[in-house]
Copies of this chain bind each other. A is one copy, B any other.
Amino acid sequence: MTDISIVVQAEGFDPGAEYNALRRENTSDGATAIFVGNVRDFSPAISATTAPDSSSSGSAVAVMELEHYPGMAESALDAIAREAAERWPLGRVRVIHRYGRLAAGDEIVFVGITSAHRQAALDACAFIMDFLKSRAPFWKKELTAGGSAGQWVEAKKSDESALQKW
């Protein structure tokens, strides 16, 4: 019943257009919950080597390289979305995850859910993000503004422990 759409792409996406697509000819679901993850402009790993005013220079500074496992990335996201659709009554589920080089402020991930029930939409959105963080094969590497080799982001224990509440 639930309409699930998963995309893994290098290109950017427009959350407003994604919202409109979730709502199009969908007056049976009164609730829409959306989560968007963006590249932050600072990181403990690179703050020491980045000039404090680098974000105001106006030029796009590449700060992150997102590696993924093609094929498994899509199927892992699809499995997580299907699990959510079994737990909650969802109308539409849309998940977009980017890979490749991303700059500060860029969108990385979009999770959009529609449901007849607000709590189902919000819970499913949180559930998908939690499992995506610990189960979908993506890896972030932070690059300094200077373009040196970069540093892989360490997985957070809090992300793994976030799964326990589900």
Measured CB to CB, the residues of A under 8 A from B are 14-17, 19-20, 23, 26-42, 55, 104-105, 116, 118-119, 121-123, 125-126, 129, 162
Evaluate contact between B35 and A31: CB separation under 8 angstroms. yes
- Which residues of B lie under 8 Å from residue A20 when comparing CB positions? 16
Interface contacts beyond A27-B38, A123-B126: sample of 15 additional A-B pairs, CB < 8 Å, sorted by A: A14-B16, A15-B16, A16-B16, A16-B17, A16-B19, A16-B20, A26-B105, A28-B40, A28-B41, A30-B39, A31-B36, A33-B34, A34-B34, A34-B35, A37-B118
* Residue pair B33, A125 in contact (C-beta under 8 Å): yes
Query: Smallest CB-CB separation from A158: which chain B residue?
Result: B119
Contact of A38 among B17, B30, B41, B129 (CB under 8 A): B30
A16 to chain B, nearest CB (A): 2
Number of copies of chain A assembled together: 2
The 5 A-B pairs with the shortest beta carbon distances in the complex, nearest first, are: A16-B16, A27-B41, A30-B40, A34-B34, A32-B36
- What are the residues of chain B within 8 A of A162 when measuring CB–CB? 119
Is B27's CB under 8 angstroms from A104's CB?
yes
Q: Indicate if the CB atoms of B122 and A118 lie closer than 8 Å.
A: no
A29: chain B residues at CB < 8 Å are 38, 40
- Within the assembled complex, what's the spacing in Å between the Cα atoms of A109 and B123? 18
